[in-house]
Amino acid sequence: MNRKVHAGFGPADGGSTARKLVASAPSDWHNIYVKSERAGQQVMSSMRQFLEQKLSLKVNESKSAVDRPWKRKFLGFSFYRRQGEVQVRLAPQTKDRIRKKLRRLTKRTRSGKLAEIIQEINEYTMGWIGYFRLAETPSVYQELDEWLRRRLRQLVWKRWKRGKTRYRELVALGVPWNRAALGAVGKSPWRMSRSPVVNEALSNAYWKELGLKSIAERYRQLSGA
């Protein structure tokens, strides 16, 4: 069994409490915060000795380090300093993972009913934000919402396939006929997903009516913001 230990520069009361923490906590991941790099190195050495000699456990050296808290990730989170206070944010790897998952769910060549695709997205994003609501970065969730809607606009526009079909669908969605022609042309679905005409037809209200849930809105509900 491997243990991964990060010693970050922040307040702590020494190695004894840290050893008690590792001995009692069920998780394999532990972050220990001290005031200086020197203290971090001392705690790391003490922890390594305790784990390997007392508990007969092996420390995963490739995932253990002494570093600044905002340079490490912990359970999908990382930290940053703002106006003298340390706050929680999403680790870069966490943002990459959710985008990768949503790219798969919104692949523009994907088949299936749009309502079923949205339901699958909702199940994933609402569970995801339920866990990551601790991150104090509402702008990140807003950006995810905007990016996700653009991914869906791309999928729908691609499904319309022909210029005549696109024109007819845009008009049906309330776009004036003379402007609908602008949204019926173009070869790049991703580029057209950002066009004013397609945005007007497949607006935020359109997706809300179809049942797409907002990550940012759910974050505000959970955080009481």
164: left (phi over 0), alpha (psi -120 to 50) or beta: alpha
The DSSP code for 212 is P
List the structure tokens of 86. Answer: 């340390």
Residue appearing with tokens 């997205």? 121
Element (H, E) at 118: helix 114-132
Q: What is the dihedral sign for C-alpha 101, 104, 106, 112?
A: negative
What pLDDT is attached to residue 1?
42
What pLDDT is attached to residue 166?
95
Distance CA 29, CA 76 (A): 11
CA angle 90, 72, 126 (to 5 degrees): 20
Distance CA 12, CA 18 (A): 8
Beta strand spans in 26-182 (E): 29-34, 58-59, 65-67, 77-82, 85-90
Low-confidence ranges of the chain (pLDDT < 70): 1-37, 39-40, 61-74, 225
What pLDDT is attached to residue 91?
87
Report CA-CA distances (Å) from 208 to 113, 140, 164, 214.
16, 20, 26, 8
What pLDDT digit, counting tens, does each position of 62-102 carry?
Answer: 666 665 665 566 678 887 777 777 778 898 899 999 999 99
How many CA atoms lie within 13 Å of 20's alpha carbon, on the beta-carbon side? 5
Distance CA 28, CA 3 (A): 5
